Structure 1
């Protein structure tokens, strides 16, 4: 996808180009996903929509059903979102768009090392046979999760209202790798206002990796860390490497061990849990978060 998809390209072909939107980790990134606008050809509707987006201070817009054709797409959508990437049809139907706010530190270029985060939007047309079992099996195999459900395991909310059937449903999804869940600070479903779909904001948090100190309370974790340290310094002798290299390398090794142990601890239990177990787990997480805040405050002000 790129600015004004060239003629002859199917509007929903996924192409890997050498220009990928990437962003520096400077502050929290507010992305609005899963927004079906049901057409942006009317100027009054565009003005109303972008006024709403600017008011909510959204950094990246991922829009669906823009209905902007290749031949009659407006050259200008909003001064607040100068970077526009469109994938349009030959007629005023379908279409997706990625818009980036002007205050973002936007860069275009080939991704060599994934130190930033790429953004991709895809919309599946409803013309093909839907196989929910195949989709669920694929998501499980690839360890892809529905981020809204991960953050709201027992909540009930809906993103679409059908006026014809007078019913609510949730047909807009945000999928991400399970390893990316920790980078998501929050995701919600907003009230359905001017379109018939509710927007789904996603807030990404940035920052350096920090040790989850609660892992040090586990005896097995401490034992594995001690064993790994002894093996590291035994295998990397002073005859082969310098003291500085051994010291820097051991920090990377220990960090990898902590990340692995945390991942195992969070994925050890895959079976569905009951409502009471979920409630108890959430209460325990709140207590752990409070304890972590107390330790962090003590470290900042008293040590």
Structure 2
């Protein structure tokens, strides 16, 4: 039986945390709610300022920056959560970030999105393409999507003009096979995550999307109150356990219709197929079924070739980036050595900053017991340590305790003096 561990997620549009007071207020709020993984949108922080989020309860921080007054997304992970990073993909426009790794030994992909207003079809195409690259059985898509999926239930007052804004999002979710977990658990409830003061309207535009096969792992999904920001936080609490990848039916990746090269090749392949197989006597139903199978094979082959081509391009870009980072790192180390030479033995601000940066965490995220079973809960970890040191300090001589209890603590002066000379003869 697979082990399960509960994690509490939160997605929250913070509407800018550039000011240190608001940044502290948001982090304290998340800590009070016992959030283990937080998705933040509209952080309004540059890369250097995003690093400031890694303090207090935050052990890991992944972010995509744009400017100090717009966009920006971040994923914060509690220092006691045993997450191991495998890959991280950032959007250069500060709109979304994908973090892929393992938590409690289970593979997970987390995507934090801040969609433009109104969201464009090309944006959802880009998000869907990136999701397909890192998708796994435990995939979590959250954030501020700036559109409602159901204009009757998710908006008040109902705005017919904005009814079709979520169509492209629905199509993308269908392509990647994700569902709105809050609406699944609350089919007819009306609740909202955003208040627009200029329009005096409420809407639900902040979501968590998950694969339908892991719905049973969700404990709760709820919407908080609108008080710190003009958005309400959305909470998701679920059990993390091993998920067997289900074999779902093949779906046509509709986002490749924006690829002009694909459309040209598809038209040429269809013309070739019908020229060869349509002789006027073939049953139209059989001809169409054969055409669908042929199209599917062509699309799979095209997508595989496209992934290989993109992989080669990605490798070349990574090599260039690695060269730039190496040069930047060597320059940084040179200046760091110079600063250390000048200020290293003096009580200066430089020394104070170095000391403040050394934050050591003694938290043990996981441990194996004598039977090889893994434990992540703090109480279980303490029990394993207790049992280990009990067995370590336990004497293997069963008669040791009995001998100690039978040995008298005090002896007479005659016994201490030993045998007399007369007794030796």
TM range (shorter): 0.5 to 0.7
Q: What does the per-residue CA deviation read over 1:270-291, in whole Å, with 9 as the maximum and x for residues that have no partner?
A: xxxxxxxxxxxxxxxxxxxxxx
> What is the distance in 1 between the residues matched to 2:241 and 2:101?
21
Residue 128 and residue 52 in structure 1: after superposition, are their counterparts in 2 closer, same or farther (change >3 A)? closer
Q: 2:29 aligns to what?
A: 52
Structure 2, unpaired ranges of 5+: 88-99, 122-164, 244-425
Separation in structure 2 between the aligned mates of residue 117 and residue 75 of structure 1, nearest angstrom: 25
- How does the TM-score come out when normalised to structure 2? 0.40
Residue 161 of structure 1, CA deviation: 0.9
DSSP-derived class of the 1:108 partner: strand
Q: Which residue of 2 aligns with 1:32?
A: 10
Q: Which residue number in structure 2 is paired with residue 183 of structure 1?
A: 217
Deviation at 1:84, TM superposition (A): 0.8
**RMSD (Å) for aligned C-alpha atoms:** 2.7
Pairs within 5 Å for 1:238-277: none
* Cα deviation 1:236-295 (Å, max 9, x = unaligned): xxxxxxxxxxxxxxxxxxxxxxxxxxxxxxxxxxxxxxxxxxxxxxxxxxxxxxxxxxxx
Q: Which SS does the other structure have where 2:47 is aligned? A: coil
Aligned with 1:94 (options 71, 79, 82): 71
2-side partners of 1:116 and 1:96: how far apart? Answer: 22
* CA distance 1:27–1:112, shift in 2 (3 Å): closer
Alignment pair present for 1:202 and 2:216: no
Higher helix share: 2
Give 3-state SS (helix, strand or coil) of 2:236's partner: strand
| Aligned residues of 1:25 and 1:116 also touching (Cα < 8 A) | no
Preserved contact between residue 179 and residue 212 of structure 2 (Cα < 8 Å): yes
1:12-70 superposed Cα distances (whole Å, 9 cap, x missing partner): xxxxxxxxxxxx9652100102x100011111111111111111111001000000023
- Of structures 1 and 2, the larger Rg is shown by 2
Q: 2:188 aligns with which of 138, 154, 173?
A: 154
The equivalent of 2:116 in structure 1 is 125
For residue 201 of structure 1, report the CA deviation from its aligned partner: 0.5
* Residues in 2 aligned to 1:202 and 1:148: alpha-carbon distance in whole angstroms: 9
The two structures have a TM-score, normalised by structure 1, of 0.55
**CA–CA distance in 2 between the matches of 1:189 and 1:169?**
12
Secondary structure of 2:56 counterpart: coil
- The equivalent position to 1:116 in structure 2, one of 103, 107, 112, is 107
C-alpha contact (below 8 Å) 1:69/1:93 kept by paired residues = no
> Contact conserved, 1:50 with 1:78, CA < 8 A, in 2?
no
**Per the alignment, in what secondary structure is the counterpart of residue 174 of structure 2?**
helix
Structure 1 residues 42 and 163, CA gap change in structure 2 (3 angstroms): same
Residue 127 of structure 1: CA displacement? Answer: 5.5
Unaligned runs of 5+ in 1: 1-23, 210-303
Number of matched pairs: 185
